[in-house]
């Protein structure tokens, strides 16, 4: 009471004085009273009575701190006000219940973070933010000062490629400074008697999610599975008797694969109960068709939506819709014949959406993905069921993807037939134009419009009347030691059927004999040639110079061409 009278007297004497004088007076009062200030939480989380002390201090030190519209302490100057609040807590009657003698030292917490490309930051006291500059945190260092209770602070970090680190304690480094591997989650806890006296509250700022809610006493703060680095950390140390008013609903977010919920409207049954991927929706085993489709994400690890549209044979494509809204015209009797679906935003960067449809009379088509068309067009076929699947990027498709969409394309009318161009006989290395036989090697014979051509190189016989081909057949000419003579010849008067070929050492009956050089060389059938005709048979099965010809071909030649018909052998 004496101290209060002294303080009152000094204030009355000085009136409204400078902030420095007020602080000196407060310090003098503390020394005079011989009291140790009880520990108070960070101002943003103190009790209502504590808020009154903050307001009085803000009035004294306005440039160092600002109050927002609701009377809450703003970020600027929070640490300074926190220190002042602790020093004068007894004046406002807001000190905590008396601590045990061992705890009268009022433990304080300081910490620093290692920012990627920026290094270690200056230490901050509890209730202040370390980091927060949109740079990933790679490591953290925490220490307690003014310890009176037995115990320590322990902390660990989580990195997606390395998992949880071991617990560091009081001043040790948790994480890997300078390696480029960012921290994605962390935990803090007290040990020993400290854990019975104090609570730790902490929260983190992460890429994409921003500031998450508060975790406490060993709980996890941050994310898992997103590769979102922590960019800021804030820690508060509070006596257990103090009430904590910070939001604590979601301090940790773990990625889970997205789940699609979807349902279909059938012609005779209406809306079906929604199913989850990859189940089938609709009626693939009945005659009912889809008139409407709904789809939404039942769970998702990243921001984004599922969008989709449907088309009917009567109206074509409808507008895109999303997130559980209706696609198509359910209840109108207009059946869906094709659909398209896709994911949006960050969800689309990590996942592909696959979908397939069942068409009565055709069956399940293959899988389409990411905006491709699934179904049919132009066949007057309807969809009776759908099946959806969400797959991580670069993962295999859930099935075949070759034929997800069938479109009927009418055959074009036949092209007008152009009048035939004048044609003339040609062979592999010869032509006959205007009655003249010419070879690529320069041979020229006048053969008129009716003629027979024998090629030794190609082992073949051709026969024409005008531009009409009469015979085109393989042959066997004379063996290399008894070659067939080359040149322009003509069918001789010795043409005969049947006939007998007589040589020095043979007599061979044939059905058709067509001589072209005297009565010694000609074309005839050869029943003894049992291995066929053409190719290189003449090299070892060749004749004595005649042209062995298949029966059907020599028969046609004999019955078509008369004596005097030109015969070219080249």
Cα torsion 223, 228, 234, 237 to 10°: value is: 20
Tell me the C-alpha distance between 466 and 411, whole Å: 38
Contact status, residue 269 vs residue 300, Cβ threshold 8 Å: no
First-to-final CA distance of the chain: 141
Contact status, residue 149 vs residue 114, Cβ threshold 8 Å: no
User: Hey, is 231 helix, strand or coil?
Assistant: strand
Catalytic residue among 350, 358, 524, 544: 524
Tell me the C-alpha distance between 246 and 126, whole Å: 15
Distances (CA, A) of 116 to 128, 138, 237, 408, 520: 20, 6, 27, 58, 103
Please report the DSSP string for 491-526 in residue order.
--TT-BSSEEEE-SS-EEEES-EEEEETTTEEEEE-
Tell me the C-alpha distance between 113 and 128, whole Å: 12
Question: Which residue shows structure tokens 């393989």?
Answer: 474
Contact status, residue 125 vs residue 133, Cβ threshold 8 Å: no
Start-end of H helices in 96-156: none
192, two tokens: 């020993």
Tell me the C-alpha distance between 89 and 267, whole Å: 74
Whether 350 is catalytic is no
Tell me the C-alpha distance between 13 and 7, whole Å: 10
Find the helix or strand (DSSP H, E) in which 340 lies: strand 336-343
User: Hey, is 50 helix, strand or coil?
Assistant: helix
Contact status, residue 550 vs residue 529, Cβ threshold 8 Å: no
Find the helix or strand (DSSP H, E) in which 195 lies: helix 193-197
Beta-carbon-side half-sphere exposure of residue 214 (alpha carbons within 13 Å): 17
Contact status, residue 222 vs residue 157, Cβ threshold 8 Å: no
Catalytic residue among 350, 358, 544, 546: 546
The whole-angstrom distance between residue 338's C-alpha and the CA centroid of its chain comes to 23
Tell me the C-alpha distance between 278 and 545, whole Å: 79
Tell me the C-alpha distance between 553 and 475, whole Å: 10
Cα torsion 445, 448, 454, 455 to 10°: value is: 50
558, two tokens: 């004999």
Whether 524 is catalytic is yes
Tell me the C-alpha distance between 328 and 338, whole Å: 10
Tell me the C-alpha distance between 551 and 320, whole Å: 74
Using a CB cutoff of 8 Å and minimum separation of 24, what contacts does 447-450 make? 447/488, 447/566, 447/568, 448/566, 450/561, 450/565, 450/566
Question: Which residue shows structure tokens 């295999």?
Answer: 396
Residues in the chain: 570
Residue 221: phi and psi, rounded to 5, are -120, 130
Helices 2-14 and 19-33, axial angle in degrees (round to 10)? 160
The catalytic site residues sit at: 524, 546
């Amino acid at each position: 009471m004496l101290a209060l009278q002294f303080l009152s007297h000094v204030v009355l004497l000085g009136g409204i004085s400078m902030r420095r004088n007020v602080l000196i007076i407060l310090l003098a009062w503390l020394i005079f009273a011989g009291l140790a200030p009880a520990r108070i939480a960070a101002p943003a989380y103190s009790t209502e009575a504590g808020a009154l002390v903050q307001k009085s201090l803000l009035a004294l030190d306005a440039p160092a701190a600002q109050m927002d519209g609701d009377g809450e302490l703003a970020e600027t100057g929070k640490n300074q006000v926190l220190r002042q609040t602790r020093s004068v807590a007894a004046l406002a009657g807001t000190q905590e219940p008396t601590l045990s003698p061992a705890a009268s030292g009022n433990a304080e917490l300081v910490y620093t973070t290692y920012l990627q490309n920026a290094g270690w930051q200056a230490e901050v006291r509890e209730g202040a933010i370390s980091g927060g500059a949109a740079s990933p945190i790679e490591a953290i260092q925490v220490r307690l000062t003014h310890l009176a209770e037995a115990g320590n602070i322990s902390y660990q970090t989580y990195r997606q490629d390395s998992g949880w680190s071991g617990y560091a304690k009081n001043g040790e480094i948790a994480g890997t400074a300078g390696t480029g591997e960012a921290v994605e989650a962390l935990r803090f806890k007290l040990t020993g008697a400290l854990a019975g006296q104090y609570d730790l509250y902490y929260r983190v700022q992460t890429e994409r999610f921003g500031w998450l809610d508060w975790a406490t006493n060993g709980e996890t703060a941050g994310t898992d599975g997103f590769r979102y680095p922590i960019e800021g950390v804030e820690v508060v140390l509070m006596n257990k008797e103090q009430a904590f008013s910070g939001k604590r609903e979601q301090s940790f977010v773990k990625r889970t694969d997205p789940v699609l919920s979807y349902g279909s409207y059938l012609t005779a049954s209406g809306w079906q109960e929604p199913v989850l991927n990859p189940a089938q929706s609709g009626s693939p085993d009945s005659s009912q068709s889809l008139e409407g489709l709904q789809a939404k994400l039942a769970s998702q690890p990243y921001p984004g939506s599922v969008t989709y549209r449907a088309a009917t044979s009567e109206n074509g494509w409808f507008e895109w819709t999303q997130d559980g809204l209706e696609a198509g015209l359910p209840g109108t009797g207009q059946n869906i014949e094709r659909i398209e679906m896709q994911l949006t935003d960050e969800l689309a960067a990590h996942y592909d959406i696959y979908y397939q449809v069942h068409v009565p009379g055709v069956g399940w088509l293959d899988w389409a993905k990411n905006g491709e068309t699934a179904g049919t067009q132009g066949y007057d076929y309807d969809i009776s069921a759908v099946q959806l699947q969400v797959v991580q990027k670069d993962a295999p498709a859930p099935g075949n993807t070759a034929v997800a969409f069938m479109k009927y394309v009418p055959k074009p009318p036949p092209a007008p037939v152009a009048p035939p161009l004048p044609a003339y006989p040609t062979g592999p290395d010869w032509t006959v134009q205007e009655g003249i036989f010419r070879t690529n090697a320069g041979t020229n014979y006048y053969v008129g419009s009716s003629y027979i051509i024998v090629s030794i190189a190609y082992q073949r016989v051709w026969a024409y009347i005008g531009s009409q081909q009469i015979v085109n057949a393989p042959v066997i000419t004379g063996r290399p030691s008894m070659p067939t003579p080359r040149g322009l010849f003509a069918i001789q008067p010795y043409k005969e059927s049947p006939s007998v070929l007589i040589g020095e050492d043979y007599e061979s009956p044939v059905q058709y004999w067509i001589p072209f050089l005297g009565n010694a060389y000609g074309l005839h059938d050869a029943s003894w040639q049992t291995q066929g005709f053409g190719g290189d048979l003449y090299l070892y099965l060749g004749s004595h110079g005649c042209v062995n010809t298949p029966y059907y071909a020599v028969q046609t030649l004999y019955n078509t061409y008369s004596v005097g018909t030109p015969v070219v052998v080249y």
